[in-house]
Amino acid sequence: MSSTPNIPAPRNEPVLSYAPGSPERDAIKAALKKMSGEVVDIPLIIGGKEVRTGKTHPVVVPHRHSHVLAHVHQADARSLNQAVQAAERAWRDWSSWKFEDRAAVFIRAAELLAGPWRQILNASTMLGQSKTIFQAEIDAACELIDFWRFNVSFAEQLYANQPISSPGVWNRMEYRALEGFVYAITPFNFTAIGGNLAGTPALMGNTVVWKPAGTAALSNYYTMKLLEAAGLPPGVINFVPGDAVMVSERLLGDRKLAGVHFTGSTGVFQTLWRTVGEKIAHYAGYPRLVGETGGKDFVVAHPSADPEALAVALVRGAYEYQGQKCSAASRTYIPQSLWPEVRDRMIAMIKDIKVGDVADFRNFMGAVIDARSFGKLKGYLDQAAKDRGVSILAGGGADDRKGYFVEPTLIQVKDPKYRTMCEELFGPVLTAYVYKDADWRQTLKLVDGTSPYALTGAVFARDRAAVEQARTALRDAAGNFYVNDKPTGAVVGQQPFGGARASGTNDKAGSILNLVRWVSPRAMKETLVPPTDYRYPFMGAQ
Ligand code: NAD
């Protein structure tokens, strides 16, 4: 029996409120309580089997680092060989599965996550990555559901893209999986990115070896279990937490490497690219390199901006999830005429922000992810306190006695090229440069030329001409550009995400453009009635 089934139309998963008295609030509180009392032993998952190497690393709660949530078994040379072999074995079947059967796994995974798995992924993200319930909900639940639902629909559109046929000929395009395995390397800051980077190549018929970030291992492990529960066959995604350098050395050194799907910092992606470049003659093909990396995201305000909306966007954009979003506002340019009001509004909000245990729902912020990040941020703050021409207007403190807490911090600089205006700090630190109102056009040039990144950015203006001037002058400064909105919070299907310059290959996660990278098309021409005479008509006479 054959058919061409319609894929269910995707819709964005509604964000639940978790307001007092709501059923979801009771459910997440219960899940947090249960998970807080467990210590999970996280194995590798290879070919559908749990593998324990015996060498483990702990996962701790960032806002209470004495609390161990899990022990994660670390991949070794033997298990990595097994993972590559399992991916190869699974590929033979999976890459030939009908699209609707592959799609069914991800559609079901999305529904399971919208329902019975929602609070498992939310609670593990809150505890393991120190997200408030709202930040966990928009990531681990809604964004991941959206990735899985929308990508299935985008894949259907891609497959429907077929060439024309001339008379007597039938042309076709077959969107094959890549030959070999895809290596997915994922960051700590979004649970959804883990499920998307491993899931998307798999949806397109590839098999994957997935190395999660150690600090996100708990939520990523549950993501893997959820995909299994949804019917993902053994070996299609192989979960191999472990030492990043060792795992990468083994996997990038494999002849069968067909692609790298990376999100993380710019330096790491450049190292991966360099390694692949050096080994290029060794591979069976040319590995696809897709990487979304760092940002130094800006908010530039025109003198016509609404100061109240601007101040709120800056506070939310810079401090939500402790500024640990690649899209977080981290540098802002504000005209002198607006600055006193914007500054005072921001300082008042910052004073009101509560930082602490994310299980206490009154807190707006939790802790930064680990000791390394804490140390890096403290270093920048201590230096800023000493540097001339730099004023810390709010925050500036950091305390790691209980958890890795860094205060929401507002810095003002005289030098628009001061290091916190240029470098990615990845924490709750916003630096402001105040410009003369008359220097609007020069300021746009400054925004464009200040950092090597080009991920997200925003303009605030009520004057329409100013919006257009910013849109034009900053054309290449951001892959996601916002008008009168904070530069964070991209939604799958609505604002496809990614940046250029040092921020990545801009293959737009959650869009058809990303799926294109995980297929190797075969063009097929069939001649319906082939010629039987080698001579052409023009040869009939001299
Ligand atoms: P990271 O680069 O430290 O780690 C990312 C992944 O790479 C992890 O799995 C890690 O274990 C691995 N890794 C680390 N060193 C490695 C090495 N030498 N070789 C191979 N793999 C290695 O990044 P992170 O701290 O997890 O995440 C934060 C970074 O990610 C920020 O720079 C942020 O801007 C970026 N990010 C970008 C986007 C985007 O869409 N552009 C989204 C989220 C995060």
The 3 state secondary structure assigned to 266-303 is HHHHHHHHHHHHHCHHHCCCCCEEEEECCCCEEEEECC
Last residue of a domain, one of 293, 326, 341: 293
Indicate whether 324 and 256 sit together in one domain.
Answer: no
Q: Is the pTM of this model over 0.95?
A: yes
Pocket test for ligand 1, best of 74, 135, 186, 189 (most atoms within 8 A of CB): 189
Residue 238: inside a domain: yes
Last residue of a domain, one of 248, 277, 293: 293
**Among protein residues, the one whose CA lies closest to atom 22 of ligand 1:** 244
Indicate whether 303 and 281 sit together in one domain.
Answer: no
Residue 533: inside a domain: no
Residue 6: inside a domain: no
User: By the 8 A CB rule, do 452 and 502 touch?
Assistant: yes
3-class state of residue 260 by DSSP: strand
- Identify residue 46 by its one-letter amino acid code: I
3-class state of residue 431 by DSSP: strand
Q: How many C-beta atoms surround the C-beta of residue 226 within 10 A?
A: 21
What is the pLDDT, as a whole number, of residue 105? 98
Indicate whether 354 and 431 sit together in one domain.
Answer: yes
- Domain that residue 359 falls in: 297-483
Indicate whether 267 and 399 sit together in one domain.
Answer: no
Residue 521: inside a domain: no
Residue 537: inside a domain: no
Indicate whether 204 and 123 sit together in one domain.
Answer: yes
Indicate whether 253 and 311 sit together in one domain.
Answer: no
Indicate whether 288 and 307 sit together in one domain.
Answer: no
Last residue of a domain, one of 270, 293, 316: 293
Indicate whether 364 and 376 sit together in one domain.
Answer: yes
What is the pLDDT, as a whole number, of residue 259? 99
Indicate whether 256 and 318 sit together in one domain.
Answer: no
Residue 365 buriedness (CB in 10 A; 0-12 / 13-18 / 19+): buried
What is the pLDDT, as a whole number, of residue 5? 85
Residue 515: inside a domain: no
248 CA from centroid of ligand 1 (Å): 13
Indicate whether 310 and 435 sit together in one domain.
Answer: yes
CATH (domain of 99):
3.40.605.10
Number of domains within the chain: 2
Residue 119: inside a domain: yes
Indicate whether 61 and 185 sit together in one domain.
Answer: yes
Is 324 a pocket residue for ligand 1 (Cβ < 6 Å)? no
Indicate whether 187 and 78 sit together in one domain.
Answer: yes
Per-residue pLDDT of the chain (542 residues; tens, 9 = 90+): 578 888 899 999 999 999 999 999 999 999 999 999 999 999 999 999 999 999 999 999 999 999 999 999 999 999 999 999 999 999 999 999 999 999 999 999 999 999 999 999 999 999 999 999 999 999 999 999 999 999 999 999 999 999 999 999 999 999 999 999 999 999 999 999 999 999 999 999 999 999 999 999 999 999 999 999 999 999 999 999 999 999 999 999 999 999 999 999 999 999 999 999 999 999 999 999 999 999 999 999 999 999 999 999 999 999 999 999 999 999 999 999 999 999 999 999 999 999 999 999 999 999 999 999 999 999 999 999 999 999 999 999 999 999 999 999 999 999 999 999 999 999 999 999 999 999 999 999 999 999 999 999 999 999 999 999 999 999 999 999 999 999 999 999 999 999 999 999 999 999 999 999 999 999 999 999 999 999 999 999 98
**Among protein residues, the one whose CA lies closest to atom 35 of ligand 1:** 264
